Amino acid sequence: MPARAKAGLPDRCVACPQSTIGFCGALFNACLHNSSLRKINPRFSTVRAGQRIPYQSQSSGDILILCTGWAFRYCQLADDGRQILKFLLPGDLFSPATIFSEHQSFFVGALTDVQVGRMEASEIRKKCLSDEAVMLAVFNTMMDDGQDAYQLLATLGRRPADARVAYLLLNLMRRIASRSVIPDHRYPLPLRQQHIADAVGLTPVHVNRVLAQFRDQKILTLAGGTLEITDLAELERIGSLA
């Protein structure tokens, strides 16, 4: 019995179906076949939906990567509101910045039950210095985060409710599709309307109305954890930037 099955992990990494090692993702795709990287021995743990996931205990110095399930980075505001900054999919790092820095200003919450891999930050740091591919992968991960953040900024700052929701869904669709084959425009999407609201700066009630409007216009339906797209062109017309 392979070690991964013993650890209660799915046999294949959702992020990289072609791979059987337990951590990969944007950062590690570039180095998957670099045998020296496998020396970074990951450990795994499980977190229930709804729990906050500490990802930067000063003592531990661990880098966390999402192996299965969904999570999200968010900012907690004084007045009980929260802003979701980015949804994390299997393969995503909780916080690339913690490789080189202690302080981060956001939290991470588990959207579904999740499995989390942990690696020693010091090991990754070492690799960054010795292996150009690893350093580039880390850079690219941070760059993608930055690009996503800037696009979301433009969306929140300047665009109406329907465009915001459409943008979020398109963004998630793209990222989901990059991780698994989606044959029939049906995407697994375990979000509550509350999460969408927290991500695009609207109230859940208003998100509901926007989704109802999309449904009426036969653009999409979102129910039971599945997003089904029926008019992609229209969704893109509404949601894409520029």
State the residues that interact with a second copy by CB under 8 A.
Answer: 73, 75-78, 81-83, 85, 97, 99-101, 104-106, 128-129, 132, 135-136, 139-140, 142-143, 145-147, 149-154, 156-159, 199-201, 241-242
Q: CA 199 to CA 165: how far, in whole Å?
A: 9
Instruction: Report which of 105, 122, 100, 137 is spatially closest to residue 41, judged by C-alpha positions.
Output: 122
Q: Which is nearer to a second copy, 13 or 210 (CB)?
A: 210
Of 83-91, 111-119, 172-180, 203-211, the segment contacting DNA by CB under 7 A is: 203-211
Q: Could you tell me which residues come within 8 angstroms of residue 23 by beta carbon, excluding any fewer than 6 positions away?
A: 13, 42, 65, 67, 117, 119
Q: Which is nearer to DNA, 161 or 182 (CB)?
A: 161
Told to check if 203 binds DNA by CB under 7 A, we report yes
Q: Which is nearer to DNA, 61 or 190 (CB)?
A: 190
193 binds, options DNA, a second copy, none, Cβ within 5 to 8 A by partner type: DNA
Told to check if 205 binds DNA by CB under 7 A, we report yes
Do residues 52 and 34 lie in contact, with contact meaning Cβ atoms separated by under 8 Å?
A: no
Question: What would the x/- binding string for DNA be over residues 137 to 176, using CB under 7 A?
Answer: -----------------------xxx--------------
Q: How far is the CB of 229 from a second copy (least distance, A)?
A: 22
224 binds, options a second copy, DNA, none, Cβ within 5 to 8 A by partner type: DNA
Q: How far is the CB of 9 from a second copy (least distance, A)?
A: 30
Q: Which is nearer to a second copy, 45 or 76 (CB)?
A: 76
Told to check if 80 binds DNA by CB under 7 A, we report no
Judged by CB under 7 A, the chain residues 40 through 79 that form the site for DNA are none
Binding residues for DNA, per CB under 7 A? 160-162, 192-194, 201-206, 208-209, 211-212, 223-224
